Structure 1
């Protein structure tokens, strides 16, 4: 017990001893370090070896991603550290002062320039940021900044799309054999990240690559996946439900007088809904237009085609009874009769007239019956077309 108490007192004493330096000690340290210091020369006593610079990227938030303009705005911080032997000192000389903060404009910095900016080319950091310098010469620089970069979006699978965006940086003014940058981690560090309501980070990557001229580029990559719940509920399901009503117009009795009005109402509903959701759809045409845009256009064309079919159906069912039905249509109706008739149906036998001939009973075909079979075929065709459209769309965007 006494031994443990001694250890605690010794640690507390050493802690007070380490941080016992005064303002005068730190002021003298700054004077000594910056006297004759040339920030235009890179660190490194032996110039035959490149300066090793280690980097990490912490993402704070995704502020904005405009698919129409290709503008991605994120907030993050680069942690960059390197050794500058000119900034090392002896602890005993300055009363155990083990670290100090120096404004970044007074020290040499690796000039990381963003080479894919949305507007202005700018480097990391600002005059408000300081560099933490340790007595070993280790410089630790936290460059906090809002980055605006160009990200060419592919909206083909909207709203089930994923995007890959990169931040590219280049150390300006140095040859590849003078400064070498390495990432400590293989991905973006998300310990300080605040979730975005529209995009989620599916994956991330940080690495260096050589460009066409042999210079190293520092790349921070983000795989962004859209959160689809809102778009499915407010966009995909409603428009699909409205489109599904188009086929049911052929189940409305033709003598009710509501068929044409029902079909036009469904068509107008699709057109009105299309104008409402137009702001949600991105306007980008490169590399491809959104498949959902083609789906909406196909629904509008189908609605217009349904109106034409309803008019044709009404014309068929209101044809004069004395007008003969063309033989080709008679044959089609007879074929539909045979397919619709159950195989196990037993026909009654008339004792006086003998067995009923199926062919004789099927000879008479009216325009009213032609219209009924026409409605049936249109209904089945539209339901199949809508089902195939939905299955094809989801199989493409979710594959």
Structure 2
């Protein structure tokens, strides 16, 4: 037989032995060797030199977010931890056991770091469960991948709602071991977000991990940023509220003599009140902070109330008789509104023609009185140049209030959006 064939045959024998040689008997012998022959004790730190520190590598893959509770200041998330360390008492020679390079061991049989969530809001419980296994390599490297639902504290600031951004963290600590015995380190990918992660209200970004020593305890802080999706709030709160308050402003465009002005204003105000009760569940129920959106809604309600009050006062003034003297500054503002509207002023001749047209249906005495009154009005008009009545005053109030309130609403909306989106 050629030498090359002999070498090839020898290699095939080695490979066959390595691959197919891991029989059930080999695995039984390996378990017996590790946990009986060597007398493995899970209560002893797995270091030949007990003065050495055990380095525990931690990684977290966040797979889901149940949500943020603004009232409880709590984040509920789901993830898989990858915890690694070296156990000096769990090592063997693979060739002695059919080439076995690793075994899976129930987590209750070996030493594990007593990791707990330091900022958790639920009762302490062991990570994983009795049904879970740890993978141990022949060099003694142990890998533990427990699944965990994290209920953790998270300080939530809703000032910029619904454009707010929150930063929440998960703090893991070796609860019964200080930094001199167990040292927590960051893994290669210490904090990751699952690529299939999806949530209807939040998006996750910027995962980071930091290791600190807190009161002689080794702590790893796993942080993630949460950005609220504002679309549902813009479409269901901000835009409808803006439409309602603009409708309320159009109260000032209705004539005072129409008889529907007050009822229209009351109807729109009631619509705003009912709408607020509908959207109450969409607003964050917390007293820790006040959002700009809540201030904006409160301002809209105040403006609606003010519009209702001004409308009632305007209707009262509209029915005042000419016996009440109109202050000069009111006349000036009224005439200014005519100028701004490019509307011609009302002169005394219009009233003279009115008076003359009524002479045919009045008695001689009434004519005499009307003529005298018209002389007085004419004399007044000659001095003032333009006639201003209380009905003109209320029209001027409507003109000024329409543009004033429209300006306030548009400005407040722009400020609210600007401050909220600057988060």
Other-structure match for 2:254: 252
Other-structure match for 2:374: none
Q: Is 2:186–2:209's contact at 8 Å kept on the other side of the alignment?
A: yes
The runs of 5 or more residues in structure 2 that have no matched partner are: 344-380
**In 2: Cα distance, 1:235 partner to 1:162 partner:** 19
Alignment of 1:202-217 (within 5 A): 202-211=205-214, 213-217=215-219
**In 1: Cα distance, 2:69 partner to 2:127 partner:** 23
Q: Does 1:381 align with 2:404?
A: yes
The runs of 5 or more residues in structure 1 that have no matched partner are: 343-357
1:64 to 1:334, Cα distance in 2 relative to 1, 3 A = closer
Alignment of 1:360-379 (within 5 A): 362-379=385-402
Q: Which SS does the other structure have where 2:192 is aligned?
A: coil
Other-structure match for 2:193: 190
Q: Is 1:333–1:373's contact at 8 Å kept on the other side of the alignment?
A: yes
Alignment RMSD (CA, Å): 2.5
Q: Is 1:101–1:131's contact at 8 Å kept on the other side of the alignment?
A: yes
Choose 375-384 or 176-185, whichever is displaced more: 176-185
Other-structure match for 1:276: 278
**In 1: Cα distance, 2:52 partner to 2:402 partner:** 78
Q: Which has the higher helix share?
A: 2
**In 2: Cα distance, 1:215 partner to 1:103 partner:** 28
Corresponding residue to 2:237 among 235, 238, 262: 235
Q: TM-score with structure 2 length normalisation?
A: 0.83
Q: Which SS does the other structure have where 1:247 is aligned?
A: helix
1:92 to 1:60, Cα distance in 2 relative to 1, 3 A = same
**In 2: Cα distance, 1:244 partner to 1:12 partner:** 88
Q: TM-score with structure 1 length normalisation?
A: 0.88
Q: Is 1:25–1:95's contact at 8 Å kept on the other side of the alignment?
A: yes
Q: Does 1:265 align with 2:288?
A: no
**In 2: Cα distance, 1:15 partner to 1:201 partner:** 49
Offset of 1:363 from its aligned partner? 3.6
Alignment of 1:75-86 (within 5 A): 75-86=78-89
**In 2: Cα distance, 1:40 partner to 1:395 partner:** 59
Report how many aligned residue pairs link the two structures: 376
> Which has the higher Rg, Structure 1 or Structure 2?
2
What are the Cα deviations for residues 86-115 of structure 1, in whole angstroms up to 9, with x where unaligned?
111001110111111001111010110111
Other-structure match for 1:349: none
Q: Is 2:207–2:225's contact at 8 Å kept on the other side of the alignment?
A: yes
Q: Which SS does the other structure have where 2:82 is aligned?
A: strand
Q: Is 2:26–2:98's contact at 8 Å kept on the other side of the alignment?
A: yes
Q: Which SS does the other structure have where 1:86 is aligned?
A: coil
